[in-house]
Amino acid sequence: MDTVTLEPSLYTVKAVLILDNDGERLYAKYYDGTYPSVKEQKAFEKNIFSKTHRTDSEIALLEGLTVVYKSNIDLFFYVIGSSQENELMLMAVLNCLFDSLSQMLRKNVERRSLLENMEGLFLAVDEIVDGGVILESDPQQVVHRVALRGEDVPYSEQTVTQVLQSAKEQIKWSLLR
């Protein structure tokens, strides 16, 4: 027998990408060494965008990878897995990411609001996928966990934006007294 049997793996997701309507990267997280350099990643992203931005389908096979994608207003969301990967699993990740962001951004899923809430995006992706392993596919759970992680975080673990926002609030209230 010449066929190679592939063992099932928990490492189903190779990358999560969000591109704008010009094909420029807004968010990219690669989970394996398929595209080790930023130059190779950008070339792959240009290729994937050129093949998918004018189609209505949701699945593409590109460079030996399975790509599931969705567009909304001025954003393109991509979840990438191996060519043998189950498209339904990848689609569950894509839908969970999109629905989580939709709830977090109050259904205003577009470029500007996403850029203003990048820390929420980072937390959401980390709750959904870790190292290529799917952790969660329920958007309600993701939104709940992101909200919990955003509250009462010590300064050492907060983003610079969160610390600056907190400082602005304190200064504003001290001036109003």
Those residues whose C-beta lies under 8 Å from the C-beta of residue 16, and which sit 6 or more positions away, are 27, 28, 29, 78, 79, 80, 93, 97, 125, 129
pLDDT tens-place string over residues 128-144? 999 999 999 999 999 98
Distance CA 52, CA 116 (A): 26
Instruction: Flag whether pLDDT at 11 surpasses 90.
Output: no
Give the pLDDT of residue 2.
45
Those residues whose C-beta lies under 8 Å from the C-beta of residue 89, and which sit 6 or more positions away, are 12, 81, 134
Return the CATH number at 134: 3.30.450.60
Q: Would 49 be classed as within a structural domain?
A: yes
Q: Which of 77, 133, 124, 126 is nearest to 105 (CA)?
A: 124
Percent of the chain surpassing pLDDT 70: 88
Instruction: Flag whether pLDDT at 109 surpasses 90.
Output: no
Distance CA 31, CA 124 (A): 16
Q: Would 169 be classed as within a structural domain?
A: no
Q: Would 69 be classed as within a structural domain?
A: yes
Characterize 159-168 residue by residue with b for buried, 16 or more Cβ atoms within 10 angstroms of its Cβ, and e for exposed. Answer: eeeeeeeeee
Structurally, the chain folds into a number of domains equal to 1
Q: Would 166 be classed as within a structural domain?
A: no
**Stretch among 6-10, 121-125, 144-148 having the lowest mean pLDDT:** 6-10
Q: Would 41 be classed as within a structural domain?
A: yes
What are 154's two structure tokens? Answer: 């010590």
The alpha-helical segments, DSSP class H, found in the chain are 38-52, 87-104, 111-116, 118-128, 139-150, 160-176
Q: Would 64 be classed as within a structural domain?
A: yes
Segments forming the whole domain that contains residue 122: 15-152
Comparing 157 with 86, which gets the higher pLDDT?
86
Q: Would 93 be classed as within a structural domain?
A: yes
Q: Would 37 be classed as within a structural domain?
A: yes
